[in-house]
Structure 1
């Protein structure tokens, strides 16, 4: 992808978002997003905002070239299961662990997710699951609504490129300014059910109006998790 407009279009396709939704992420107007595409140019400030929130390499968005794949900063002392040969031959990639919880504030302007550290994953695992490396994020679960499937303080990885709802799968979602992890079910009347594993929590119904107004957003599907007892 040699032009800025192509890379912006790719970002919108990856996240299944339109110009208005990208404008919200970048804290700007839909007209400015249209201008980036029409003029094939974007300011470094806005490119940095998009890159940090959606997990893209800033240089790739600004100048093109290969999308960034971060090498692990861990060494065999910190991660004994990785040999030096495995680190060098690229069998492992890293996914950022973000300083956010699935309770509030995911991507809301002007809040930014801060990367605390990274975790190594086998690159073949992501490839087999068709997960773009720069679209995978790791966040922390809080609360007991998903017990016994997920427990308080568990960490999960979500694929932010996978926002298409498949009934019964677990997703990270945003409802107004709250971010949650729930089982999603698409209903025949156009509404969406948010369901918890814990039976003491009632289903939450997302109306068509909430969906159309942008008050509801699917942030990504869970593909991996780790419990504190693991």
Structure 2
């Protein structure tokens, strides 16, 4: 195996935080991964794909060393694994029916300590951030505030604030399930009326993920 590929796999282990963590994320046996890391064995294409997906690097870069290392919205971690970097998207609204972030740009990467995310039970690979647009959540979220979304929680678990897509727009709203199966979309600012999505129209409501962190200027 080329030393270049082994070195790129070692970089992937650095991004994951350790070889043990990369093995956990990919379900590759630790001893097998060690052979890849030291260049004693060459992974098959499927294993390379698993490694690339686990840490958000470009498969073309991993295989050949050419092109950009990170995908546009990939989560990064520093070499020592102390910090995780969550992509902040310029995605205040999203037209069409593709991926929620389709056509959105990554403005920057927000740094959080890896420990703080683990303590909250959050997987950095499942996180992204967007900015709040408007004053409908004033009192909880202000116009321009940044919210972090946990994409692994894309179904309604109970009353909480979620980022949703409805009528081709993104909103950060409080969701509440009713006894009749409908969902109320609640604004913190009482100048805005609650919206109701009937049970028979729930397919029109896409839950992007649950808001797990918010921040903004005071």
TM class by shorter-chain length? 0.5 to 0.7
Mapped pair 1:220 → 2:216 = no
Q: Is the 8 A contact 1:106 1:179 kept in 2?
A: no
Mapped pair 1:207 → 2:207 = no
> Pairwise mapping of residues 95-106 of structure 1 onto structure 2 (< 5 A)?
95-101=86-92, 103-105=93-95
User: Cα distance, 1:125 vs. partner?
Assistant: 1.5
- 3-state SS of the aligned residue for 1:93? strand
Whole-angstrom distance in 2 between the partners of 1:104 and 1:96: 17
Choose which of 183, 188, 192 in structure 1 pairs with 2:174. 183
- Structure 1 residue runs of 5 or longer lacking an equivalent are 1-40, 45-50, 73-87
Larger Rg: 2
User: Which residue does 2:111 correspond to in 1?
Assistant: 120
Deviations along 1:68-110, whole A, 9 cap, x unmatched?
Answer: 75135xxxxxxxxxxxxxxx52111100011111x44387369
Q: Is the 8 A contact 2:165 2:205 kept in 1?
A: yes
Q: Is the 8 A contact 2:134 2:143 kept in 1?
A: yes
Choose which of 56, 71, 76 in structure 2 pairs with 1:70. 76
User: Cα distance, 1:165 vs. partner?
Assistant: 1.6
Q: Is the 8 A contact 1:106 1:113 kept in 2?
A: no
Whole-angstrom distance in 2 between the partners of 1:111 and 1:163: 17
- Structure 2 residue runs of 5 or longer lacking an equivalent are 1-45, 64-73
- 3-state SS of the aligned residue for 2:77? coil
Q: Is the 8 A contact 1:141 1:151 kept in 2?
A: yes
> Pairwise mapping of residues 134-145 of structure 1 onto structure 2 (< 5 A)?
134-145=125-136
Q: Is the 8 A contact 2:149 2:212 kept in 1?
A: yes
Deviations along 1:159-202, whole A, 9 cap, x unmatched?
Answer: 01112323331000011211111000011111100001111111
Q: Kindly report the root-mean-square deviation, in angstroms, between the aligned alpha carbons of the 2 structures.
A: 3.1
Whole-angstrom distance in 2 between the partners of 1:92 and 1:114: 22
User: Cα distance, 1:116 vs. partner?
Assistant: 1.4
- 3-state SS of the aligned residue for 1:124? helix
Which stretches of structure 1, 4 residues or longer, exceed 2 Å deviation after superposition? 55-60, 103-113
Q: Is the 8 A contact 2:159 2:177 kept in 1?
A: no
User: Which residue does 1:29 correspond to in 2?
Assistant: none
User: Which residue does 2:59 correspond to in 1?
Assistant: 59
Q: Is the 8 A contact 1:137 1:157 kept in 2?
A: yes
